[in-house]
Amino acid sequence: METPHAAFDNDKYIALQSAAIRERAERFGNKLYLEIGGKLLKDLHAARVLPGFEPDVKLRMLQTLGDQIEFIVCAYAGDIEHQRYRADFGTTYDAEVLRLVEDVRARGLAVRSVVLTRFDPSMTAAAAFADRLRREGLAVYLHSAIPGYPADVDRILSDDGFGRNPMVETTAPIVGVIAPGPSSGKLATALSQVWHENRRGVGAGYAKYETFPVWNLPLSHAVNIAYEAATADIEDFNQIDPFHLEAYGETTVNYNRDVAAFPILRALLERLLPADQVYRSPTDMGVNKVGFAIADDERVQEASRQEIVRRFLKGGSDLALGRVTEATVERLRSIMAAAGLKDTDRPVVVPAREAAAAGAAAGKGFGGICCAAALQLPDGSIVTGKNSSLLRSPAATILNAAKRLAGIPDSLELLPKTIVQSVADMKSGLLGRRSSNLNVEELLIALAISANMNSVAALALQKLPLLRGCEMHMTHLTSASDASGMRRLGLRVTCDPLWPDKSRLALG
C-alpha cells in the first residue's frame, strides 16, 4: 500500500519557525516572553487539517532552541478548583498541568515554574494543588485577578495591578508561556513579566505563537474555516485584520478576540516598550510560519473540509449529551452551509447508516435496537459492524477491520465464544451491568487473550496500530468506555445524536 506524500513539510516548518522566534527575541534585546497558544503536544486538530503535520512538531521545533528557552506553565485556578475536564484527552486540568510539565521536561527543556492565575484564597483545592506542585520541586506563583483587566491600563500597569503579582524568576532569553487549555491567563502572565522586567531595567518584549487561523491564507480557505468550526462553542470567528490593512496595505487573517483586544493591548505595550517596538497590528504580534510549510494545498483543503463535517457531527452529539448549547450547533450548521458541505460528505456516514437500516430490517441488533458503525481503512475501503448480544457495534467494526487488514475471512471467528460469554456473564451477573455485550476495551483484552492460543488472532491483533488516524462513524451515541478505547486506538470518531435505547444509556 503506497503512502501518499505529506501535504505538510515538518522540516521546513521547524526551520522557518525557530528562525522567526530567534529573530523576534533579538528584536527585544534577547528577552522575549512568547505566549504559545493551542496544543504544544498532541495537536490533533492540526494533524487532521494539515495531513503530515506531526502532532508533536511544535515541541520538536522548540527543542531546536535548546537552552535558549524555558517555560512557565499557566493554569486558571478556577479550572483546578472545579476540576474542569478536557473531553479531548479525557483528563482534568490539574492532570494536564502535570502532564505538560512532564512532556516538556522529557524533551530536555526547562520547566521550573507554574503560575495559578486569578487565584483566590478561598480556593482550597487549587491551594492544595499548589502544595503538590511545590512537593514536585516546582516554583509556584499565585496571581490574583486584577480589577478592570484588561481595559483599566493605569491600574494594570501599577503596583496595584501587575505589581501585586510576584515576578516569576527566569534565566533563559526566550520564555515560553504555555497552558493546559484556553482562558488560562497566558497573556496576562506574559505582560506581567514584561512589566516587572522593565521595572528592573530589562527591555523585555512580548510575542504570540499560535497556529490558527493561518494569517497568510485567505479568509475563505478551508483551513481557516475549520478553525472557526473548532471554536464554535466559544464563538470565535475569523476576520481580516483591519489594523494590518491600514498600517501596511496587506490583507491578513486574524480572529475576532485578538482584533477586538488589540487597541487595549497596544495601549499597554505603548506604556511598556519603546515606540519603535510597539506592534502595529495583531498580525505583527504573531510569529507563525505554518502557512509557508504547506506542500499540497489541495489535500489540505479537502482534509479541512472533512474536519468541518466532523466538527458539525460532534456538535450534534455534544448537544444531545448536554455539553454544548443549541447556539453552538446553529453556528456549526451555518459554517457547513457556507462551505457547501453536508454530513454525508463524510465517507463513513452513509455506510454506517445503511448498515444499521439493513440490520434492523433483518432483525439484528441487541435489546430490540440495531446500531452500526463504519470504519475507513488506510486503503480507502470501508468495513462495517453491528451490535449483537456479544459485541457492541464499535467493537464489532474494529474486529472486522482487523480481519480485513490481516486478510482473515469474515466467517472465521477469532474470539472463542467461551471467553466472550464468560466476560458477558460476569458483566451481567457479578457487576450487575444492564448491557453485557463487550465494549471496545473489553474486546481488545479478549483478543489479546485469544492471541496467546490462536496465531490468527495474534495476526489480527498486530494489525490494530494501522487503525491510527482512520475515520469512523457510529449511528448512535457511544459509552465512555467505548470512547476511551477508540481514542487509545487513535480513531477519528463521529456519531449520530441518537440514543440507542429508551433509558437513554449510550450502549451502541
Instruction: Provide the CATH number for the domain around residue 418.
Output: 3.40.140.40
* CB-based contacts of 155-161 (< 8 A; 24+ apart in sequence): 156/268, 157/195, 157/268, 157/271, 157/272
pLDDT value at 194 more than 50 = yes
Confidence band, pLDDT 50/70/90 cuts, at residue 362: very high
In a domain, 233, yes or no: no
Task: Yes or no: say if 180 and 97 are a contact pair by the CB < 8 Å rule.
Answer: yes
* More confident call, 420 vs 94: 94
Residue with cell 480485513: 404
pLDDT value at 91 more than 90 = no
In a domain, 194, yes or no: yes
Q: How many domains does the chain have?
A: 2
Q: Order of strands across the sheet with 382-386?
A: 382-386, 372-376, 471-474, 492-495
What pLDDT was estimated at residue 424?
A: 72
pLDDT value at 503 more than 50 = no
Tell me the mean pLDDT in the region 112-133.
Answer: 97
In a domain, 240, yes or no: no
In a domain, 449, yes or no: yes
In a domain, 321, yes or no: no
What are the tens digits of pLDDT across the range 209-234?
999 999 999 999 999 999 999 999 88
What pLDDT was estimated at residue 90?
A: 63
pLDDT value at 1 more than 70 = no
| Final residue in a domain of this structure, among 154, 185, 211 | 211
pLDDT value at 405 more than 80 = yes
| Final residue in a domain of this structure, among 174, 195, 211 | 211
In a domain, 357, yes or no: yes
Q: Which three cell numbers stand for residue 17?
A: 519557525
pLDDT value at 504 more than 50 = no
What pLDDT was estimated at residue 431?
A: 57
- Sheet strands (E) in 118-269: 139-142, 174-178, 205-209, 238-240, 253-255
Q: Which three cell numbers stand for residue 381?
A: 475501503
Confidence band, pLDDT 50/70/90 cuts, at residue 15: very high
pLDDT value at 89 more than 70 = no
Rank 306-315, 439-448, 451-460 by mean pLDDT and report only the highest: 306-315
How many other C-beta atoms lie within 10 A of the C-beta of residue 110? 17
The pTM assigned to this predicted structure is 0.89
Give the span between the Cα atoms of 42 and 255, in whole angstroms: 23
pLDDT value at 302 more than 70 = yes
In a domain, 157, yes or no: yes
What pLDDT was estimated at residue 92?
A: 85
**353-389 burial: b if 16+ Cβ within 10 Å, else e:** bebbeebbeeeebbbebbbbbbbbbeeeebbbbbbbe
Tell me the mean pLDDT in the region 327-356.
Answer: 97
What are the tens digits of pLDDT across the range 49-66?
999 999 999 999 999 999
Helix (H, G, I), strand (E, B) or coil at 336: helix
Query: Which among 304, 399, 397, 294 is positioned nearest to 13, based on CA atoms?
Result: 294
Q: Which three cell numbers stand for residue 205?
A: 518584549
Q: Which three cell numbers stand for residue 20?
A: 522567526
Least confident of 83-87, 144-148, 457-461: 83-87
pLDDT value at 48 more than 50 = yes
CATH number at residue 35: 3.10.630.10
Task: Yes or no: say if 19 and 12 are a contact pair by the CB < 8 Å rule.
Answer: no
What pLDDT was estimated at residue 438?
A: 85
pLDDT value at 164 more than 70 = yes
What pLDDT was estimated at residue 416?
A: 78
pLDDT value at 494 more than 80 = yes
Domain ranges, residue 451: 347-495
Confidence band, pLDDT 50/70/90 cuts, at residue 505: very low
Confidence band, pLDDT 50/70/90 cuts, at residue 269: confident
pLDDT value at 275 more than 80 = yes
| Final residue in a domain of this structure, among 179, 195, 211 | 211
What pLDDT was estimated at residue 508?
A: 42
What are the tens digits of pLDDT across the range 106-119?
999 999 999 999 99
Give the span between the Cα atoms of 121 and 201, in whole angstroms: 32
Give the span between the Cα atoms of 150 and 190, in whole angstroms: 13
pLDDT value at 2 more than 50 = no
pLDDT value at 30 more than 70 = yes
Confidence band, pLDDT 50/70/90 cuts, at residue 101: very high
pLDDT value at 436 more than 80 = no
What pLDDT was estimated at residue 289?
A: 97
What pLDDT was estimated at residue 341?
A: 98
Supply the mean pLDDT for the chain.
91
In a domain, 91, yes or no: yes
Structure letter (DSSP) for residue 141: E
